[in-house]
Amino acid sequence: MNAEPVFSALSHPVRRKVISLLLAGSKTAGSLAEEFELSRSAVSEHLGILRQAGLVREVKSGRERIYSLHAEPLAQLRDWLAPYETYWKSNLARLAQQLEDEQ
């Protein structure tokens, strides 16, 4: 599994904020755009990137498009993180590292 698209999508603050806004519930493209001091088209392109990364879903509703969060791909991030988590949490691991450094 390649986490590249997810890391890449989350690398921009605007896109992370979009994700967090959608945590509170689905929103239209327009109402999302209002949350930023950016042109509507810029936000629209950020939405496109999130869509491609599979992090949001788009549903047409009349002339609006309703965006909702699709958090599953974030599991890839968690998986990537897992090995490090044990590393930073475990004092044993840290000690082992120190010993390795010294030799």
Partner DNA sequence: AAAATACGTCGGAAAATGTTGACATGTCGG
Partner DNA sequence: CCGACATGTCAACATTTTCCGACGTATTTT
User: How far apart are CB 64 and a copy of itself at their closest, in Å?
Assistant: 13
Residue closer to a copy of itself, measured from CB, 26 or 44: 26
Q: Is 97 in the site for DNA (CB under 7 A)?
A: no
By CB under 8 A, how many residues form the interface with a copy of itself?
32
Q: Is 30 in the site for a copy of itself (CB under 8 A)?
A: no
Q: Is 17 in the site for DNA (CB under 7 A)?
A: no
State how far the Cα of 55 lies from the Cα of 70, in Å rounded to an integer: 5
**Backbone region of residue 70 per phi and psi (left: phi > 0; alpha: psi in -120 to 50; beta: other values):** beta
Residue closer to DNA, measured from CB, 11 or 90: 11
State how far the Cα of 32 lies from the Cα of 78, in Å rounded to an integer: 26
Q: Is 77 in the site for a copy of itself (CB under 8 A)?
A: yes
Report whether 9 contacts 50 (CB < 8 A): yes
Site string (25-64) toward DNA, x via CB under 7 A: ---xxxx-x----xxxxx-xxxxxx--------x--xxxx
Alpha helices, H only, 24-73 = 29-33, 40-52
